[in-house]
Structure 1
């Protein structure tokens, strides 16, 4: 059986009467006539097959059914407003997702420069633990990743490269060194985020590979495991620049391959700010 179609106009009229207390005041708030408000509320009640408002008296009251509908009506109207805002807010806020460390030491620099060039606009970095850093969920316009998604619908562009750092428990025997080599991970337990992290098992020669792997999800769990002395880690320098955790020290790994930083977006729907943002971030990495 098909569900009845509910009109946003009818919901707005219903909410206005509830909030204002009378049909007359609701009409004033909506900039329309009392007859129009009454018609839309009546239409909503007929669609739902129940009385939502109790007429009579100086102030209209909400029925039991009306109270059940009220919360959902408010959510629906607010969602419709959000759709309109999203359509008109392009350029006012640019949302960039990231799974681990945004742009590392360059994050604040890029945000400040964007604000200088675009007064009234905001460049917002949004943390997520998903593979596409919020792009697939529709919560961001673009995303910074350090692993090519390998999906044809998603376009990628290189932003720059970052060296790799070891993350060690502060009391670890290697923490006193100024730098490490990949061989220093041999026979140790390495914390590994297989979904979004930059470390993969094929970085090591089989003869010098870590002894075991401890799977984690996201930066916070990764840092917690290392601080507790349960594992060591290998990450990009951006993680070391953007995060500090008591009990964790970072050391450069001299012979580790660099990490390529990528910007991703939907190929068929590139944001209007794409080229300018690309140039700005590449400038920061080059500098």
Structure 2
């Protein structure tokens, strides 16, 4: 499959703007150029991605699936481009849904006090390594350890697991839950970076709904279409009307790791590791 970035940008622009004409205006291209780019993308994918109507273009079923991944690729490219122009002296830490939860601000303040002029910047990423493999960050906070030898990891702490449920769900009336309470429910899971899998349910079959980012995950839960399982850091960092969190008491906590390139450890990584461990121990 031979796909280039201008094809992805054209496809996403048509979806966002609703028409090829408006997409062309946004991209500052001719309408014919946008049409050729989208057609080329469809040809390389081997599927029709858009229904072309007289007034608007709408997604096909295949287009809806492809759109999520196209946005993810463009987001990562934008982060890569941004990394090349970032200010000198920044210590950039990648993360997925949540950084350190309630400890995030405290660690940033401690770092600033010890290392003025060398700010600690947290960068959200949708890649499995939270931007580490891509060179977008110097280190990353992970809750799943990658099976890659060139990445070094150190445990910084653990977090309790919480169920995320619709506020109208009968379980929302309770303060604490068990795994048995969640049986026979649809579980919203991000397979790339999430911390939930069927293994949590001791081999019992569970129905999974795949999500691709935190907003999609919360929207499905608030609508009552699924429930979620998540580390405590998410509870502190993300709230949504119509959704509540409840502690799950009979499941192992989630381990939180600091990761970096083994062959090129960042300056002061030991200092950062000590700060994060202190925050989790407090």
TM-score (norm 2): 0.69
What's the offset of the Cα at 1:173?
1.1
CA distance in 2, matches of 1:135, 1:117: 24
Q: Do the aligned residues in 2 keep the contact of 1:196 with 1:218 (CA within 8 Å)? A: no
- Per the TM alignment, residue 220 of structure 1 is displaced from its structure 2 partner at its CA by 1.6
Alignment of 1:83-102 (within 5 A): 89=88, 92-102=89-99
How do 1:217-236 and structure 2 match up within 5 A?
Answer: 217-236=212-231
Decide whether the 8 Å contact of 1:99 with 1:129 is kept in 2.
yes
- Alpha-carbon offset, residue 146 of structure 1: 0.2
Q: 1:130-168 CA deviation, whole Å, 9 max, x = no partner? A: 100011111110000100101111111101000000000
Equivalences for 1:51-200 in 2 at 5 Å? 82=84, 89=88, 92-200=89-197
Cα distance in structure 1, aligned partners of 2:118 and 2:151: 25
SS of equivalent to 1:144: strand
Give, in angstroms, the shift of residue 233 of structure 1. Answer: 0.5
- Give how far 1:265 is off: 0.7
* CA distance in structure 2 between the partners assigned to 1:96 and 1:221 by the alignment: 24
C-alpha contact 1:227 1:247 (8 A) present in aligned 2:
yes
Alignment-derived partner of residue 250 in structure 1? 245
Unaligned runs of 5+ in 2: 1-80
Structure whose alpha-carbon radius of gyration is higher:
1
CA distance in 1, matches of 2:267, 2:113: 18
Structure 1 runs, 4 residues or longer, greater than 6 Å off: none
1:104 offset after TM fit, Å? 0.7
The alpha-carbon deviation at position 184 of structure 1 amounts to 0.9
> 1:262 & 1:172 partners in 2: Cα distance?
33
Superposed CA offset, 1:30-68 (max 9, x none): xxxxxxxxxxxxxxxxxxxxxxxxxxxxxxxxxxxxxxx
Between the aligned partners of 2:213 and 2:101, the Cα distance in structure 1 is: 15
Which runs of 5 or more residues in structure 1 are unaligned?
1-78
2: CA distance between counterparts of 1:220 and 1:109?
Answer: 25
SS at match of 2:172: coil
